[in-house]
Structure 1
């Protein structure tokens, strides 16, 4: 059986409320506890870096995927188990997708939104059928969800799209969902 990879999308900024960074760390821990592999953008800071730190603190496996131009001091997590390099951001997203069995979108900025919407679009087009979670920590994504409802009311988004992703308020809720969706990995 292929190793289960959980792709975690999230912002790279450390200048955010501590609750977000703790959430990312907890996600890394939970992935490691299940003997799944954390897949993310290999960043040293923000949600990416904290997810890696949480996984590593729990003896977990991590795979970071980054474009070559990110190889600069302070950008990439230096103690990651495995960092794979791509030429472009587009290749990076495709590679992360190929390594993943599920996706968790944590709070972030425009890059995180792009990643979430790319997976959601692939699911809508029936090109991908894997769990997708929007982690709404501290109701961070309430505005986004309201905007999407407005797009639905205007006729641009079909109501069925909401069945393609799961909104979770807590890490516990996210992993309860994933535990139902994914097979159990053998222990280390």
Structure 2
């Protein structure tokens, strides 16, 4: 009976040691009509966009990912969470993507991508969603009523007081018109 507490303590010590030295990569993935994109930290404040054309007719393509260029983020915090949402644009009918990350100064920022020919590949939205302690969890989702338009794109985060908070936009395009912060309560 004396062995169990010793083994448990040893396992706990190993777990705690591993937790203090291991830092999981935070990333997001979105599905597009022509494939899948993954976004992950690239070091030195960058976020990398990986793409695969895998799908039901080409599942082995999941073994091949290509680094895409055009995502010009250079101020991502080293421990940033990354969120992304892909949706059909209410304005153009093409796929749009919003990427959410936290900058080194604590600002939550977004980048916007549209598949409209002639538009820039990625554009940074000038709106600061919030400024919160570094490392806050982030999420993004799209919602519409009965599949109708316009879509609502929401970004959720934990504010400086520990509350789940969100901002949303029904404006599609490079510069979203974002709501005031809304604290989510029951």
Q: What TM-score do you get using the length of structure 1 for normalisation? A: 0.24
Which structure shows the bigger proportion of residues in strand conformation? 2
Comparing both chains, which one has the higher relative contact order based on Cα–Cα distances under 8 Å and sequence gaps of 6 or more?
1
Which structure shows the bigger proportion of residues in helix conformation? 1
Q: What TM-score do you get using the length of structure 2 for normalisation? A: 0.24
